[in-house]
Amino acid sequence: MSAAPARPWLADFVLLAALWGASFLFMRLATVEFGALPTAWLRVAVASLFLLPLLLVRRQAAQMHQHWKPLLLVGLLNSGIPFACYAFALAYITTGLSAILNATVPLFGALVAWFWLKDRPSGSRSLGLGLGFVGVALLASDQAGFRPAAEASGRWLPVLAVGACLLATLCYGIAANYTKRHLSGLPPLVTATGSQIGATLGLALPALWQWPARLPGTSAWLALLAAGVLCTGLAYLLFFRLIENAGPARALAVTFVIPLFALVYGVLLLGETVTPWMAGCGLVVLCGTALATGSLKPKRAPV
């Protein structure tokens, strides 16, 4: 009997989940000193500087220039606004809670496709949409993921932070469907580089307006470099390679693994806690998302 075939894409899958899980940690470390908008801007600017030479080497700059308008919009929706939202949210809620909320990205993607592209979900996928949003509501109703300093300043700030995370996931869902409709067929590196440059241009003035008066320390700069190069530039390349080698369904499934890494990083490196309520609500969100995207299909009873 022959051995099972190897899965060469598995290493990319695990590494990508680990990198995107770490992005919440690095964003938290940078936001403390830079503030939300400068953190988001520097992250996409560093990613642009990392990806642009690769684009030039592959001689794909002309395609990026040809589609600069939709790429600018995708950059704002897929990077600029979400990164700013998460940078703001991480000042008031834990990295673990923000990562669990980030797992609703496919949920919002399915919802946007339903209303915009008329991709009506089946019964099980509709059930998943409802289940996912119930899980989010239950998760947001608990204060376990709120930071002590945020609770002292009033409950509305952590709630606003949860809303910012959900706005970010909604932007991701809109961007995914817009990309499918208007940028289909473009090389992935063109879309990745163009969108990062678009986000950099879109956030430049707001970031300069909010620039910190005091120069941040070395650790904040290193956190931003890691977020830009590893969690954005390198992560995009891994994601696109994963799509090519394992297919889009397996690539999107990485969303379900990211919270695990983010929770571990938060506990080990930031001293955060994970309560049974957070874990249970997170499981409800993940199950709902898996149903809504068709990753989890209920078995039919035999007839």
State the pLDDT at residue 97: 81
Q: How many CB atoms lie within 10 A of CB 230?
A: 21
The Cα–Cα gap between 195 and 193 comes to 5
State the pLDDT at residue 4: 43
Q: For residue 40, which of 99, 89, 110, 93 has the smallest C-alpha distance?
A: 89
Report in angstroms the alpha-carbon separations of 85 from 9, 104, 184, 232, 292: 31, 15, 27, 16, 24
The Cα–Cα gap between 254 and 238 comes to 11
The Cα–Cα gap between 139 and 283 comes to 10
Q: How many CB atoms lie within 10 A of CB 275?
A: 13
Structure tokens belonging to residue 111: 């919802």
Q: Given the structure tokens 């898996």, which residue do they identify?
A: 290
**pLDDT tens digits, one per residue of 53-108:** 999 999 999 999 899 899 999 899 989 999 999 999 988 888 878 888 887 777 77
Beta bridge partners of 36: none
The Cα–Cα gap between 294 and 215 comes to 47
The Cα–Cα gap between 140 and 107 comes to 16
Query: For residues 26 and 226, is the Cβ–Cβ distance under 8 A?
Result: yes
Verdict on whether the full-model pTM lies above 0.85? no
What's the gap between Cα 240 and its chain centre? Answer: 15
State the pLDDT at residue 229: 94
Q: Which helix (H) or strand (E) holds 16?
A: helix 10-34
Domain coordinates in residue numbering, the chain: 15-292
Q: Which residues of the chain have pLDDT under 70?
A: 1-8, 116-123, 125, 129, 133, 136, 139-155, 244, 247-253, 289, 292-303
